[in-house]
Amino acid sequence: MDGYAVRAEALEKRYGEKRALDGFDLVVREGTVHGLLGPNGAGKTTAVRILSTLIRLDGGRATVAGLDVARQPREVRARIGLTGQYAAVDEVLTGRQNLEMFGRLFHLGGRRARLRAAELLEQFDLTDAADRGVGKYSGGMRRRLDLAASMILAPAVLFLDEPTTGLDPRSRGEVWDSVRALVAGGTTVLLTTQYLEEADKLASRITVIDQGRAIADDTPDGLKGLVGGDRIEVVVAERSEIPRVVKVVARVTDGEPEADETELRVHAPVADRVAALTEVARTLQDEGVRVEDIGLRRPSLDDVFLRLTGHRTEKEAAA
Amino acid sequence: MSAVDLSTTSARSGTYWALADCWNIVRRGLTHYQRQPVNIAWQLGFPILSVLLYGYVFGSAMKVPGGGNYTDFLMPGMFVMTMAFGFINTATVVVYDSTKGVIDRFRSMPMASSAVVAGRGVTDLIVACAELAIMMLTALAMGWRPDGGLGFLAAFGLLLWLRFALIWIGVWLGLLVPNPEAAGGLFAVAFPLTMISSIFVAPQLMPDWLGWIAAWNPISSTAAATRDLFGTPGGTGDSWVEQHALLMAGVWPVILTALFLPLAVRRFRKLSR
Ligand SMILES: Nc1ncnc2c1ncn2[C@@H]1O[C@H](COP(=O)(O)OP(=O)(O)O)[C@@H](O)[C@H]1O
Ligand SMILES: [Mg+2]
At residue B55, does pLDDT exceed 80? no
pLDDT digits (tens, 9 = 90+) for B227-264: 999 988 776 777 898 889 999 999 999 999 999 999 99
Quick check: helix, strand or coil at residue A81?
Answer: strand
- Provide CB contacts within 8 A for B27, sequence distance 6+: A101
CA of A40 from ligand 2 middle (Å) equals 7
Confidence at residue B9, expressed as pLDDT on a 0 to 100 scale:
67
The most confident of the ranges A221-225, B147-151, B159-163 is B159-163
SS3 B106: helix
**Ligand 1 contact, A278 CB (< 6 A):** no
Contact check, Cβ <8 Å, A112/B5: yes
- Closest by Cα among B218, B193, B219, B176 to B90: B176
- Per-residue pLDDT of B13-23, as tens digits, reads 889 999 999 99
Half-sphere exposure of B138 (CA within 13 A, CB side): 22
Measured CA angle at B225 (ends B252, B135), to 5 deg:
100
**DSSP conformation letters of A180-236:** HHHHHTT-EEEEEES-HHHHHHH-SEEEEEETTEEEEEE-HHHHHHHTTSSEEEEEE
- Nearest partner of B104 among A200, A117, A77, judged by Cα: A77
| Option in A56, A77, A154 nearest B273 (CB) | A56
Which residues have a Cβ under 8 Å from the Cβ of A7 and sit 6 or more positions away?
Answer: A26, A27, A28, A62, A63
State how far the Cα of A265 lies from the Cα of A278, in Å rounded to an integer. 18
Mean pLDDT rounded to a whole number for chain A:
90
Q: What is the mean pLDDT of chain B?
A: 89
Q: Which residues of A touch B1 (CB under 8 A)?
A: 154, 185-186
pLDDT tier, A55 (very low <50, low <70, confident <90, very high otherwise): very high
Give the side-chain half-sphere CA count within 13 A for B55.
20
Cα–Cα distance, A85 to A51 (Å, whole number):
15
pLDDT digits (tens, 9 = 90+) for A139-184: 889 999 999 999 999 999 999 999 988 888 888 888 888 888 888 8
How far apart are the CA of B113 and the nearest CA of chain A, in angstroms?
10
Query: A6, A187 in Cβ contact below 8 A?
Result: no
pLDDT at A314 over 60: no
On the question of pLDDT at A303 being above 50, the answer is yes
CA-based Rg of chain A, rounded to a whole angstrom? 23
Pairing of strands A188-193, A157-161: parallel
B182 pLDDT more than 80: yes
Asked if the C-beta of B104 comes within 8 angstroms of chain A's C-beta atoms, the answer is yes
Instruction: Name which of A54, A107, A133 is nearest B108 (Cβ-Cβ).
Output: A54
ipTM score of complex = 0.89
Kindly report the nearest CA distance between residue B30 and chain A, in angstroms.
Answer: 11
Q: How far is the CA of A45 from the centre of ligand 1 (A)?
A: 7
pLDDT digits (tens, 9 = 90+) for A259-284: 888 889 998 888 888 889 999 999 99
Q: Is A270 left (phi over 0), alpha (psi -120 to 50) or beta?
A: beta
Mean pLDDT in residue range B170-197: 90
Instruction: Determine the 3-state secondary structure of A237 from DSSP.
Output: coil
A21 three-state secondary structure: strand
Across the interface, whether the CB atoms of B108 and A93 are under 8 A apart is answered no
Task: Give the C-alpha separation, A89 to B102, whole Å.
Answer: 6
pLDDT confidence of residue B253: 97
Task: State which amino acid sits at residue B257.
Answer: T
A44 touches ligand 1 (CB under 6 Å) = yes
DSSP A94: B
Q: What residues of chain A lie within 8 A of the CB of B104, using their CB?
A: 54, 82, 84, 88
pTM for this model (two decimals): 0.86
Q: What is the mean pLDDT of residues A242-265?
A: 89
Does B267 have pLDDT greater than 90? yes
Distance from CA of B106 to the nearest CA of A (A): 8
Query: Given an 8 Å threshold on Cβ–Cβ distance, is A115 in contact with B4?
Result: yes
Sorting pLDDT into bands at 50, 70 and 90, what band is A317? very low
| DSSP-based helix, strand, coil % in chain B, nearest 5 | 75, 0, 25
Q: Are B100 and A88 spatial neighbours (Cβ–Cβ below 8 Å)?
A: yes
